[in-house]
Structure 1
Amino acid sequence: MGQHAHFFYALELPGAIKETLTGKVDRLQEQLPFKTWVHPQDLHITLAFLGNAPEDKLIASSQRIEAALSKQSSFDMKIDHLGIFGRKENPRIFWAGLDESPELKEVRNNVFSACQAAGFTLEKRPFSPHITIARKWVGEQPFTAEILESAIPFKNEQISFHAERVVLYKTHLGKSPKYESIKQFEFVSR
């Protein structure tokens, strides 16, 4: 599994949802000057970023996650808004946000706790579920709230999907797509 690669656990987005998002994002790319747009296959919801991870800790976290999620039922999610992280006039991350989900919070807490129990030191920031779609504003004009409000492809529309698994991903910097699925943790079908 490689000593110098970066790893993270994420909620996988179904292929059809990645296609739907890609169709909307393609239209946004024409309107919004961000430096990098996420490859459609790389769209996901991060649950725990591990960074550089030794194999023994990856195995320990995977075993704990498998046990913690063994009775987790699949559940419905909705993508229903856009947002940014970073400075308001010069955001570093442009994302699609999700409707409040107690099931997602529970899954995230289980994954996060399993990783900590396996010896990982994780970021303590509050969980803010999102799907990163672009990085680094490079517009000549400052980014404004009106830009989000005028993002026509997402206006007054929700995108629903059924969450079915958590995935351990490995990052391959310099490649596109750059995330490789290493292990999948299936939820119980409803």
Structure 2
Amino acid sequence: MKQHYFIGIKVPMHIAKAIVKERENTNVHKTHKTLPVAEDMHITLFYLGHVEQSILSSIMQCLRNIKWEKFELTTNELAHFGNEQTPRVIYTAVENSHFLHALQHDVVRQLSKVIEITNTKDFHAHITIAKKWAAVDELHIKDFQLPKMSFDVSHFSIFQINNNQSPRYEEIDCIQSRRV
């Protein structure tokens, strides 16, 4: 199997652990196949998929050209992608952030200098707590009561996906904020 990668923002461990702890108040462990561990909690900026090592090196270099300043994100309510009764992804949303959207746009702009960008879906910042519907049971998530939690974003990373390990996502490069 070919190695896959994505670009994302790692969720600080204290927030990731709080999300995983609160997830225990739901039944997603019975309704979904994949429940990310705290160490894997992140916000995806762009999914790369498979890229050759030479291209990956070029991507790492071009992402360093982005000038952006540290900003703050705040978690929001629980939400989902897909049908409400059988959602394919359940996630903790983050409050709308101009800075986050600008960073994601800049990431895509820089990537387009190195690779062909075909995935132009709207960007919906989220922290996945469960994915891949797998049940006949009803979903119960009303007891998920995560308070709003804020954190600073001073870097983003390129992650390698290791499907047969836990945690699955290995940080292979880190891009620090740079003053605009």
Q: Normalising by structure 1, what TM-score?
A: 0.85
Residue in structure 1 matched with residue 177 of structure 2 by the alignment = 187
Structure with greater helix share of residues: 1
Residue in structure 1 matched with residue 19 of structure 2 by the alignment = 21
Report the CA distance between 1:29 and its aligned residue.
Answer: 4.6
User: How many Å separate the matches in 1 of 2:174 and 2:60?
Assistant: 9
Q: What is the aligned-residue identity percentage?
A: 22
How many equivalent residue pairs? 179
User: How many Å separate the matches in 1 of 2:153 and 2:44?
Assistant: 13
Structure 2 residue runs of 5 or longer lacking an equivalent are none
Return the letter of the residue paired with 1:34: H
Structure 1 residue runs of 5 or longer lacking an equivalent are none
Q: Is the 8 A contact 1:90 1:136 kept in 2?
A: no
- CA distances 1:79-138 after superposition (whole Å, capped 9, x unpaired): 111111122221111111010100000110111111121114341110011011111233
Structure 1 moving runs of 4+ over 6 Å:
none
Residue in structure 2 matched with residue 124 of structure 1 by the alignment = 120
Q: Normalising by structure 2, what TM-score?
A: 0.89
- CA distances 1:16-54 after superposition (whole Å, capped 9, x unpaired): 222222222233357863222111111000011110101
Q: Is the 8 A contact 1:14 1:161 kept in 2?
A: yes
User: How many Å separate the matches in 1 of 2:20 and 2:43?
Assistant: 15
CA RMSD after TM alignment: 2.1
* Paired residue secondary structure (2:18): helix
- Segment of structure 1 superposing worse, 83-92 or 26-35: 26-35
Q: Which of 33, 38, 41 is the matching residue for 2:39?
A: 41
User: How many Å separate the matches in 2 of 1:20 and 1:165?
Assistant: 21
